[in-house]
Protein backbone atom coordinates (compact mmCIF):
# COMPACT_ATOMS: atom_id res chain seq x y z
CA UNK A 1 0.00 0.00 0.00
CA UNK A 2 2.81 2.41 0.89
CA UNK A 3 4.44 1.94 -2.52
CA UNK A 4 1.21 2.55 -4.42
CA UNK A 5 0.59 5.73 -2.40
CA UNK A 6 4.11 6.91 -3.18
CA UNK A 7 3.63 6.19 -6.88
CA UNK A 8 0.28 7.99 -6.83
CA UNK A 9 1.87 11.11 -5.32
CA UNK A 10 4.69 11.07 -7.87
CA UNK A 11 2.16 10.73 -10.71
CA UNK A 12 0.06 13.60 -9.30
CA UNK A 13 3.14 15.82 -9.44
CA UNK A 14 4.01 14.61 -12.96
CA UNK A 15 7.26 13.00 -11.83
CA UNK A 16 8.69 9.88 -13.40
CA UNK A 17 8.57 6.92 -11.01
CA UNK A 18 12.06 5.70 -10.10
CA UNK A 19 13.38 3.70 -7.16
CA UNK A 20 15.31 6.74 -5.88
CA UNK A 21 12.26 9.02 -6.03
CA UNK A 22 10.09 6.45 -4.28
CA UNK A 23 12.67 5.92 -1.54
CA UNK A 24 13.24 9.65 -0.97
CA UNK A 25 9.50 10.38 -0.93
CA UNK A 26 8.97 7.57 1.59
CA UNK A 27 11.56 9.21 3.86
CA UNK A 28 9.62 12.49 3.76
CA UNK A 29 6.32 10.70 4.33
CA UNK A 30 7.68 8.92 7.40
CA UNK A 31 9.12 12.03 9.10
CA UNK A 32 7.39 14.98 10.76
CA UNK A 33 10.43 17.21 10.68
CA UNK A 34 12.35 18.81 7.81
CA UNK A 35 15.23 16.78 6.36
CA UNK A 36 18.67 17.94 5.27
CA UNK A 37 20.36 16.22 2.36
CA UNK A 38 22.64 14.52 4.90
CA UNK A 39 19.61 13.26 6.88
CA UNK A 40 18.25 11.73 3.69
CA UNK A 41 21.61 10.19 2.75
CA UNK A 42 21.79 8.45 6.15
CA UNK A 43 18.31 6.97 5.57
CA UNK A 44 18.98 5.73 2.03
CA UNK A 45 20.18 2.20 1.44
CA UNK A 46 22.14 3.01 -1.71
CA UNK A 47 22.48 6.37 -3.39
CA UNK A 48 24.43 8.64 -5.68
CA UNK A 49 24.78 12.25 -4.46
CA UNK A 50 24.13 13.73 -7.89
CA UNK A 51 20.94 11.67 -8.33
CA UNK A 52 19.77 12.65 -4.84
CA UNK A 53 20.46 16.32 -5.56
CA UNK A 54 18.50 16.11 -8.81
CA UNK A 55 15.66 14.28 -7.06
CA UNK A 56 15.37 17.01 -4.42
CA UNK A 57 15.51 19.71 -7.10
CA UNK A 58 12.77 17.98 -9.14
CA UNK A 59 10.60 17.54 -6.04
CA UNK A 60 11.00 21.24 -5.23
CA UNK A 61 10.26 22.38 -8.80
CA UNK A 62 7.09 20.25 -8.95
CA UNK A 63 5.68 21.53 -5.63
CA UNK A 64 6.25 18.33 -3.68
CA UNK A 65 8.78 19.73 -1.17
CA UNK A 66 9.94 23.19 -0.12
CA UNK A 67 12.96 24.62 1.65
CA UNK A 68 12.33 24.80 5.37
CA UNK A 69 14.28 27.75 6.67
CA UNK A 70 15.61 27.69 10.21
CA UNK A 71 18.36 29.38 12.18
CA UNK A 72 21.09 27.07 10.87
CA UNK A 73 23.06 27.31 7.64
CA UNK A 74 22.00 23.80 6.56
CA UNK A 75 19.43 23.55 3.77
CA UNK A 76 16.45 21.48 4.91
CA UNK A 77 13.39 20.32 3.00
CA UNK A 78 9.87 19.40 4.04
CA UNK A 79 6.80 18.08 2.27
CA UNK A 80 4.51 20.70 0.84
CA UNK A 81 0.85 20.76 1.72
CA UNK A 82 -1.55 18.87 -0.51
CA UNK A 83 -2.61 22.00 -2.39
CA UNK A 84 0.87 22.85 -3.73
CA UNK A 85 1.74 22.21 -7.35
CA UNK A 86 4.36 23.18 -9.89
CA UNK A 87 2.51 26.40 -10.74
CA UNK A 88 1.03 27.19 -7.31
CA UNK A 89 3.68 26.72 -4.63
CA UNK A 90 2.31 27.91 -1.27
CA UNK A 91 5.19 27.37 1.13
CA UNK A 92 5.15 30.61 3.09
CA UNK A 93 4.41 29.51 6.61
CA UNK A 94 6.15 29.50 9.97
CA UNK A 95 9.02 27.11 10.62
CA UNK A 96 9.88 26.13 14.19
CA UNK A 97 13.47 25.20 15.03
CA UNK A 98 13.96 23.23 18.25
CA UNK A 99 17.07 24.39 20.07
CA UNK A 100 17.20 21.12 22.00
CA UNK A 101 16.98 18.39 19.32
CA UNK A 102 17.86 20.55 16.29
CA UNK A 103 14.79 19.51 14.29
CA UNK A 104 12.81 21.96 12.17
CA UNK A 105 9.04 21.66 11.79
CA UNK A 106 6.50 23.31 9.48
CA UNK A 107 3.80 25.10 11.48
CA UNK A 108 1.11 25.86 8.94
CA UNK A 109 -1.48 26.62 11.64
CA UNK A 110 0.28 29.91 12.51
CA UNK A 111 -0.39 32.71 10.04
CA UNK A 112 2.39 35.03 8.95
CA UNK A 113 1.24 38.59 9.63
CA UNK A 114 0.89 41.04 6.75
CA UNK A 115 3.96 43.20 6.42
CA UNK A 116 3.81 46.74 5.07
CA UNK A 117 7.04 47.88 3.48
CA UNK A 118 8.06 51.47 2.81
CA UNK A 119 7.58 52.86 -0.66
CA UNK A 120 10.09 51.52 -3.18
CA UNK A 121 10.35 48.03 -1.68
CA UNK A 122 8.77 44.94 -3.24
CA UNK A 123 8.28 41.79 -1.18
CA UNK A 124 8.93 38.50 -3.01
CA UNK A 125 8.90 36.04 -0.09
CA UNK A 126 8.66 35.86 3.68
CA UNK A 127 10.46 33.48 6.01
CA UNK A 128 9.50 33.31 9.67
CA UNK A 129 11.56 31.09 11.96
CA UNK A 130 10.58 30.53 15.56
CA UNK A 131 13.19 29.10 17.92
CA UNK A 132 12.46 27.26 21.13
CA UNK A 133 11.72 23.78 22.43
CA UNK A 134 9.48 21.37 20.52
CA UNK A 135 6.73 19.31 22.15
CA UNK A 136 8.90 16.16 22.10
CA UNK A 137 11.75 17.86 23.99
CA UNK A 138 9.56 19.92 26.31
Domains, the chain, with CATH or none: 2-132 (1.10.10.10)
Cβ 30 vs Cβ 40: under 8 Å: no
Confidence band for 91, pLDDT divided at 50, 70 and 90? low
Confidence band for 101, pLDDT divided at 50, 70 and 90? very high
Pairing of strands 65-67, 76-79: antiparallel
* Helix runs in the chain, H state only: 2-12, 19-30, 37-43, 49-61
Q: Which of 42-46, 88-92, 111-115 has the highest mean pLDDT?
A: 42-46
Q: How far apart are CA 34 and CA 78, in angstroms?
A: 5
Q: How far apart are CA 122 and CA 69, in angstroms?
A: 21
**Alpha carbon distances (Å) from 32 to 29, 42, 114, 123:** 8, 16, 27, 29
Confidence band for 92, pLDDT divided at 50, 70 and 90? confident
Q: How far apart are CA 4 and CA 61, in angstroms?
A: 22
Amino acid sequence: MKSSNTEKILKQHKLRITDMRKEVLNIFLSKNEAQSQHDIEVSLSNFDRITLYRTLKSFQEKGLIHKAFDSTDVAKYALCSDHCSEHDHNDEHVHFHCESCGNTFCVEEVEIPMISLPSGYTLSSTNVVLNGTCQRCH
